[in-house]
Structure 1
Amino acid sequence: MDLTDIQAKIENSLANGFVDREIAGSEELMPQFIHNSHGDTMLLHIERELSHCSSFTFAIAFITEGALTSLKVKLADLAAKGIHGRILTSTYLNFNSPKAFRELRKLDNVEVRIAENDNFHAKGYIFDHEEQRYQSAIIGSSNLTEQALMNNYEWNIKFTSYDNGSITEKLIQEVELAWNKATPLTTDWINFYSKGYQPVALRETHPKVSTSKNQIMPNAMQTDALNNLSEIRNNGAERALVISATGTGKTYLGAFDVASYQPKRFLYIVHREQILDKTMASFKRVLSNEPDNAFGKISGTSKDKDAKYVFATIQTLSKQDFLTQFNVAEFDYILVDEAHRVGSPTYQRVLKYFQPDFLLGMTATPERMDDYNLYELFDYNIAYEIRLQKALDEDMLCPFHYIGITDYEKDGEVSDDTSALKWLVSDERVEYIIKQTEYYGYSGDRLQGLIFCSRKDEAYELAKLMTDRGHLSKALTGETPQSKRDEVVAELENGEIEYIITVDVFNEGIDIPCVNQVVMLRNTQSSIVFIQQLGRGLRKANNKSFVTVIDFIGNYKNNYLIPIALTGDKSRSTDKARDDLEVRQISGVSTVNFSEIAKERIYQSINNTKLAGFKVLKDDYTDLKFRLGRIPLLCDFQKSETVDCTVFADNYQNYYKFLVRMKEDVHLTADEEAILSFISIELMNGKRSVELLLLNELIQNRGRFGENDFEELLSEKQIFYNADVSQSIERVLSLEFFQKAAQKKYGNDPLVSVQDDTYVLNPKILDWMKNNSLFNKLFDDAIQAGLIRSERYNQDEQFTLYHRYTRKDVCRLLCWDNDTSSTIYGYRVRDNECPIFVTYSKSDQIDSSINYQDRFINTDTFQWYTRHNVKIDSKEVVEIKNSKTSIRLFIKKNDDEGKGFYYFGEVQVKDTEQQEFQVKDGKVEPIVRMLLQLDNSAQYDKYLLFEK
């Protein structure tokens, strides 16, 4: 019989998977083995199938709330498109909790049934494609749990079958048989199940206290920090700073260090009275040998100033008449919590008054914008630093599921920076907010949430309206007295209310571990505030396995900050920000989920924003200068993983120009600056390190270094090097590689020449280094920064998979004699090399005659078209097909992505090229279609970036 198009594609795809991988099958139809490897998880495959199916059926024994939460955004997008599904699950081993079943009931577009068979232990995901008459299925070991979808080593097979295939028939029969016998999931069924439910023993997600003879013991982070503090003091330091993410045990760390130090008298200073009692209780637990009366509190209502261990609020302690009651040497150890506040007058008054033997500061966010040098106060001694990302990696915080969805929209209007109160608290928006918070839910038995909004009147009105609708809420603002704040927090902790709605408070200095839902109803003004608010829910607690973070994203110009904050990216690189937007898994089982519309808004915000504007770079520079106590160098930025050194090159040509803009007392000649620009623009990206290494050796060896010695050095370091590279670096460092305009820009004179098999640094440069210490420092700094940056690339190869390269980069790394990037366009065959540059989604403005259908067929095969007016027997096609020609594939998503293309490795031309014809300017012209076989199958998450 004649095969339909889809049948032929399935046949080829099955042949690819089970007979011959050289046969080009379509990725969506090919059999695949899935085992949660890097960039290739069950979660990605399930989401991809959901994005393309007409309906779906999951037959899954075990389901957790967290796994459902990570899929709810995708399911909501499907519901908006009218796509429905079914889930068949079970009560096997009592694994599924009543709460998980209640979460399943929230899925409006999903019908759920409970299998009749008590031993139902299936693990299958089936996706229907009705229009094309086929089904895809993933069957194996993965249940619908966070670990099984993302982290566990699982074995799953994805396969596709036409609707008249025998395996499809058998699969559908079995599913329908089990489905028809199953019991519909109803509220009554859940209530009945709850009465006899006995939970299985799951991994505890609250902190486990290590004890010895009932004594609390430090965790790994605290042990490292304590050792560092001890070493710092042994070296004579009198002050130190600990930077530690919220929820990582700063309070206990302080208590452990005090126990080790054994002060005669100790003072603990905090910004808010609200956490004094909890802090004192933590210290009592560590200092368990001390009597109760050794601990005292100084606040608005307590004045226990004679205690051995004094815990004070800065508001009370800083009052002049109270402060002077103490001797300046009263305390030999002082600890300041929320130390980023020490620049304020109250803190300055206290810290200038006391003269302790040791002063310790603790903060989660040292980056402040008040021009106060926090680091200087603590003598630049950073004893320990652990940020959010590392804390999650170390399992010190509660996992979270971030949900980025669009804010309420009506008639094209959505929240923005100028929204009026009547819009923010309109009945429609309040109903929308409640619907979304109920849908995405929370972990635990009861809702205990924080809502952050932007205006005080909005907070009060929203609290009233949500309470009227059955969600008891109270508002707290900066105007709320401390006693009232304590009262409301206690109500949340005791389950008397569901939400605290706040503005201006609770960004920091508050500890409410029970919080299991964080709602953001405001514009993201800064990454610092975003992380502070996110952190309110990240403390581990009993009966909480994850935190749901729901972010309502309007038309805000600062939307670009969201992915940057979530990933901890401080590079200020636009390319990196776009990459951040694609991140799905932060750490462990913490996930990031954007609805389609919200993701598009953020993408546009990234494209419309200058991430490296002067004000931003000035703040980053000032913070690092404060931290170091000197003018920072590019190496300092690289080592601290803040601004990428190439950002300064892209925006200022060299770092010197930025220092001039910062009004630092610096001066270079035009010739010196030209050399610095060359290093910064052309070499500092580190994509090939050989030029940087040679310059580094020349600096170290008074301007001369033997060619043989250099070759031995590169061999020792296992860096890619051959005769072509040798010739290439000579042309690059002599400037011969570059166009005339670039040569003039870089001063025309060669940096390096070769004399008697020896590399020789230009004598002018040696003189400048000798006579101008600033040039010497900045020249060497640019080289060292580039070498640090080069560590992200595989230097033993010419290119690194999935890193971005410009056409100019490729010309240099392929060792071509000249920079011909301006004339490469789509591809160029030269010196047995053929780089192919593909812009995957071309602009709508591009003439249809050159908008070729370049696309992935599957993760192994790419369909590619030559330029117009090329025949199959033409010289360039013959050269491309020549076995000696190395073909390299570079792809970017669209023209918004800048000049860089992702490298997908070397490819081979399959023997399937076809002559085709397309109309251009009313004239039929030949064009050749080729299938390119990737030497390295595309990493799945990278492949998905370009899937149409």
Structure 2
Amino acid sequence: METLKNAILNGLYDQRYRGHELLSPALLSSQDNEQLWLSLLRELLTCRSFTWAVAFITPNMLVPFKVVMADLAAKGVTGTIITGDYLGFNSPRVFAELMKIPNLTVHIVQTSGFHAKGYFFEHGDYQTAYIGSANFTRSALLENVEWMLRVSSATDAALTDQLRQQLTVLTTDSQVLDSDWLTAYRTCWVPPVHSSAKPAATPITPNAMQKAALGELNALVAAGANKGLVVSATGTGKTYLGAFAVKAFQPHRFLYVVHREQIARKSLASFRRVIGGPASDYGLLTGERHDWDAKYLFATVQTLSQPDTLAQFSATAFDYILIDEAHRVAAPSYRRVMDHFRPQFWLGMTATPDRPDNQDVYAAFDYHLAYEIRLQDALEAGMLAPFHYVGVQDYVTSDGETIDDTTNLHRLVADERVRYVLQQLYYYGYCGSQARGLVFCSRQAEAKELAAKFTAAGHPAVALTNADRPVQRRAAVRQLEQGALEYIVTVDLFNEGIDIPSLNQIVMLRNTKSSIVFLQQLGRGLRKYPGKDYVTVLDFIGNYKNNYLIPLALNHDTSRDADRAQAETRLPGIIGVSTINFDRVATDQILQSLAQTKLDSMRALRQSYQELKNKLGRVPYLYDFYRYGSTAPQVFADNNRLAYYGDFLVKMGERVALGSYESGVLSFVTKELLNGKRPHELLLLDELLKNGRCSTERLATRWQEAHAYNTPAVRQSVMDILSLNFFDVKAGKTTKKARYGSQPLITLKADEYQWNPDLAAALADDTTFRRLLADAVTTGLALSQQYDPTQQFTPYQRYDRQDVCRLLNWPLDVSAPMYGYRVAGDECPIFITYRKTDADRRNAVYDNELQDGQSLRWYTRSPRHLDSPEVQQLLAGVSTGKPAVTLRLFVKRSDAAGKQFYYLGTAKIKPDSVREEQLGPKKKAAVGMDLQLDRPLAPRMYELLFD
């Protein structure tokens, strides 16, 4: 227990004792960029048992809690929650949900005024307690500013004994939650009274995303465009966005077109609230109302599209027309409207532009996609109802077979599977007093049979397919909203165009074949609704080959990076206050799917390209992929089969004819600078593209505006890079410098940067070359936003060895012979692969006692001795606390992660840990030492790299 002892002394006595990221006493705060729930979850996953004493519990944290409890049940781990009825805060629903968890015992404290907030975890030879301000509520664990003190202690410690005594007293003065107590509580429970005072009406102003969309729309109008399309997820405030856009345009007359009178009326009220003016300015054009002369006219397409109605208006009667639900524009009624009018600007707004019926919504608006409000951004901005996604294992038969792509219908609707599905729906529950669920399955016959069996089991359900008439669909939706039905079972029918705000469950009983469809189905339940605090999303994951799409879609991951996708699957995700959870078996199934898939295959890139080309109506460039694509632009740069993006365009059948020199320049910018890991070169190239020349003073200003550091070393390094001298090292049969055209891109004379003459001539003569170069520079600057420009390396970002050589301002790329580390002057980058495939390879051998996220054992290469010059250079000044060499740690989990390492920060050598050792079967001499990070590793990075 020496580790625990040192950790306690480090936290409570003297920081010079070795700390431990997971054991040292610590004050945890939600302000430290990690929600408190993740800390508790980490303890749950590793404990032998737990006891929590928490006064307040809300249903909106119980779904992710149930996921981990189900996994703990499989390991035989149990827990206890001690709570009470103080102030009536805990609803009967909370207690009913807790009773569903078989490996949890709940005690109800009988003493009045119970207001404790403590979490106690038993780990065997030590215990950990979290005590502070946070109850077990979503607000406390995911949103609020809360403090929790974490303290670990040994089994025989006085603090441990005191905690046990307090918990024993609470348990003694309590009763076990059972149905009798719950019945009595439900009878007398009075919901807490919240203040009903409404805040004074405040002017409606655009949120951050609406401001960005307005900026793009204004730019379209200023550029003379006649049409624009905004894609905005359901419930993200697109009506207000349209009102802001119209207010900015200040039209003489405005027309709003939609397919339902109810929507038209609601939109009229929203527009008036934003734009203002007398009521007489606003009017309706519907079957019942004909306000022909209104300045702001809100019309149903059914009425407006009638020939007699259109005849009432000249083609130029309105200078701004907004088509809501613009994915319907291919319908004859909408075509008649669009063919009749000639406004100055058409604005289309939709949540679902990507349609399975091949109707080209983008073409109807001249492929001017002004803005897209994505699901993840909308969730983080609080525009949508939060969700708890739960990926659970699909039903496993008695002979061990799991649902997969080839499963027969009779197995999909077998009584055993239906019972299993209903058990999961019951266990994970929903927000509200009754289930209102939408179930997606794979086949029409399956939908009908599932609906029948749900109904027979006491859960009224109806199947809807594309064979059912609209009137039947509307009737089913109405029954669901009124509570006569609990579930609608369908086959892709309700991916879009359905609005059931009261939905509180989304159930996926089919293979995920498309990220777009997956998100459309998920989005069906995310519209806000009174009393709907969250949506439960249950995804039954079988042995499907496309399982890898699930974490990519949920996290909007376009990197096509297998290592990142694995991390997103293994580690619980949080988007705003929404949670992403996979049970253990579902996690394994997704990881197996990932292992069998090449995410960045040329076939995948081709499909992504074609999708974006269809969306834009033109050849997409790298910056288009950055803004709208399903593939990150860096994927094209990292592809070894492509020298630059133009190579890919040629493979897609596009005409790109460039000379070898231009190709070399583009290859250099794409391969070396596009990643944006340092903005300095890109800012200089951007200035030269705009003005043809750039003074050193102007460059300093550009760097200052970008908050980029400016030192003599980085100024020289930029010249080394753009002159290509940095790459003048052997790389196979030639040098990289030769591959990139050999000539410096720029010259510096009399404090002014200019293109070299050949490059200047090429840029003047070849518009394709200029466009591709400008695209690469613009995209690189956009990608650079994820890095901190004030320092050379951004903690927890990834770098390869060549990146490190460049960012350390070294004159040459010496990454090839660097291997595990390199001592150069006052810098020493160290590259560690945590899990080696060969047990005999011993660089980065870890002492398990030191896997604490703060210190680790590291060895020099062999043969090395304590008196070796390299070792003496590393140890210079260490004993006095003033080391002469800065150690920078770069770590990756395994070689499967590729060439990229996570930067963990700087580290110092512990003087008393330095020893010469004989390592490996051949007993070669090396010097081992403990390296302690100057900045303790964030728990999430610890899990990502070392768990």
TM interval, short-chain normalised: 0.7 to 0.9
Q: Deviations over 1:765-792 (max 9, x none)?
A: 1221122222122223322322232232
The 5 Å alignment of 1:29-178 reads: 29-130=23-124, 133-178=125-170
Which residue is 2:341 aligned to? 355
- Say whether 1:725 aligns with 2:701: no
Query: Match for 1:734 among 709, 714, 723?
Result: 723
1:136–1:158 CA contact under 8 A, matched in 2: yes
- Say whether 1:28 aligns with 2:22: yes
- Secondary structure of the structure 2 residue equivalent to 1:432: helix
Shift of 1:157: 0.7
- Secondary structure of the structure 1 residue equivalent to 2:131: strand
Structure 1, 486-495 or 776-785: larger mean CA deviation: 776-785
Query: Match for 2:375 among 388, 394, 398?
Result: 388
The 5 Å alignment of 1:406-555 reads: 406-410=393-397, 411-555=399-543
Query: Match for 1:601 among 589, 604, 611?
Result: 589
2:623–2:778 CA contact under 8 A, matched in 1: yes
Query: Match for 1:662 among 641, 652, 656?
Result: 652
Structure 1, 743-752 or 248-257: larger mean CA deviation: 248-257
Q: Deviations over 1:876-925 (max 9, x none)?
A: 332222221111001112222221111011111111324375663x4333
2:325–2:348 CA contact under 8 A, matched in 1: yes
- Residues of 2 paired with 1:475 and 1:203: CA distance? 43
- Residues of 1 paired with 2:705 and 2:270: CA distance? 52
Which residue identity is paired with 2:897?
Answer: E
- Residues of 1 paired with 2:148 and 2:38: CA distance? 13
The 5 Å alignment of 1:905-916 reads: 905-915=905-915
Which residue identity is paired with 1:935?
Answer: D
- Residues of 2 paired with 1:815 and 1:251: CA distance? 51
- Residues of 2 paired with 1:919 and 1:285: CA distance? 77
RMSD: 3.7
Structure 1, 333-342 or 678-687: larger mean CA deviation: 333-342
Which residue is 2:276 aligned to? none
Instruction: Assess, with a 3 A threshold, how the Cα gap between structure 1 residues 837 and 513 changes in structure 2: closer, same or farther.
Output: same
Shift of 1:182: 0.7
Shift of 1:186: 0.7
- Secondary structure of the structure 2 residue equivalent to 1:28: coil
Q: Deviations over 1:571-599 (max 9, x none)?
A: 54556545644674544321111223323
- Residues of 1 paired with 2:20 and 2:250: CA distance? 66
2:892–2:902 CA contact under 8 A, matched in 1: yes
- Say whether 1:833 aligns with 2:827: yes
Q: Deviations over 1:520-546 (max 9, x none)?
A: 112222222122111111112222211
Shift of 1:947: 3.7
Q: TM-score, normalised by structure 1?
A: 0.88
Which residue is 1:899 aligned to? 899
Which residue is 1:853 aligned to? 846
Instruction: Assess, with a 3 A threshold, how the Cα gap between structure 1 residues 658 and 340 changes in structure 2: closer, same or farther.
Output: farther
- Residues of 2 paired with 1:281 and 1:696: CA distance? 49
Instruction: Assess, with a 3 A threshold, how the Cα gap between structure 1 residues 788 and 847 changes in structure 2: closer, same or farther.
Output: same
Shift of 1:646: 2.0
- Residues of 2 paired with 1:798 and 1:822: CA distance? 21
Query: Match for 2:544 among 535, 556, 570?
Result: 556
Instruction: Assess, with a 3 A threshold, how the Cα gap between structure 1 residues 97 and 563 changes in structure 2: closer, same or farther.
Output: same
Q: Deviations over 1:784-805 (max 9, x none)?
A: 3222322322222111111100
Which residue is 1:791 aligned to? 785
Which residue is 1:674 aligned to? 664
- Say whether 1:940 aligns with 2:933: no
- Residues of 1 paired with 2:705 and 2:290: CA distance? 65
Instruction: Assess, with a 3 A threshold, how the Cα gap between structure 1 residues 755 and 121 changes in structure 2: closer, same or farther.
Output: same
Instruction: Assess, with a 3 A threshold, how the Cα gap between structure 1 residues 846 and 762 changes in structure 2: closer, same or farther.
Output: farther
Q: Deviations over 1:72-128 (max 9, x none)?
A: 211111111110010000101110000001111011111111011111111110011
Shift of 1:134: 1.7
- Secondary structure of the structure 2 residue equivalent to 1:460: helix
- Residues of 2 paired with 1:749 and 1:226: CA distance? 44
- Residues of 2 paired with 1:804 and 1:250: CA distance? 37
Q: Deviations over 1:440-474 (max 9, x none)?
A: 11111111111111111111111122222222221
Instruction: Assess, with a 3 A threshold, how the Cα gap between structure 1 residues 26 and 335 changes in structure 2: closer, same or farther.
Output: closer
Instruction: Assess, with a 3 A threshold, how the Cα gap between structure 1 residues 347 and 840 changes in structure 2: closer, same or farther.
Output: farther
Aligned residues: 916
Instruction: Assess, with a 3 A threshold, how the Cα gap between structure 1 residues 362 and 356 changes in structure 2: closer, same or farther.
Output: same
- Secondary structure of the structure 2 residue equivalent to 1:551: strand
Shift of 1:723: 3.9
- Secondary structure of the structure 2 residue equivalent to 1:750: coil
- Residues of 2 paired with 1:292 and 1:189: CA distance? 57
- Say whether 1:282 aligns with 2:272: no
- Residues of 1 paired with 2:250 and 2:789: CA distance? 48
Which residue identity is paired with 1:486?
Answer: R
- Secondary structure of the structure 2 residue equivalent to 1:719: coil
Q: Deviations over 1:661-710 (max 9, x none)?
A: 2323331012211111011101221212233333344445646x566775
Listed as ranges, the gaps of 5+ residues in structure 2 are 273-278, 877-882
1:567–1:586 CA contact under 8 A, matched in 2: no
Q: Deviations over 1:125-159 (max 9, x none)?
A: 001122xx221110111100011112211121111
- Residues of 1 paired with 2:528 and 2:473: CA distance? 22
The 5 Å alignment of 1:186-225 reads: 186-201=178-193
- Residues of 1 paired with 2:402 and 2:871: CA distance? 52
- Secondary structure of the structure 1 residue equivalent to 2:902: strand
Q: TM-score, normalised by structure 2?
A: 0.88
Instruction: Assess, with a 3 A threshold, how the Cα gap between structure 1 residues 906 and 230 changes in structure 2: closer, same or farther.
Output: closer
- Secondary structure of the structure 2 residue equivalent to 1:401: strand
Structure 1, 859-868 or 903-912: larger mean CA deviation: 859-868
- Secondary structure of the structure 1 residue equivalent to 2:857: strand
Instruction: Assess, with a 3 A threshold, how the Cα gap between structure 1 residues 231 and 869 changes in structure 2: closer, same or farther.
Output: closer
2:10–2:16 CA contact under 8 A, matched in 1: yes
1:25–1:857 CA contact under 8 A, matched in 2: no
- Residues of 2 paired with 1:258 and 1:688: CA distance? 40
2:304–2:337 CA contact under 8 A, matched in 1: no
Query: Match for 2:739 among 745, 754, 764?
Result: 745
1:838–1:854 CA contact under 8 A, matched in 2: no
- Residues of 2 paired with 1:733 and 1:220: CA distance? 41
Which residue is 1:18 aligned to? 12
Which residue identity is paired with 2:460?
Answer: L
Which residue is 2:886 aligned to? 886
- Residues of 2 paired with 1:287 and 1:851: CA distance? 63
Sequence identity, in percent?
A: 43
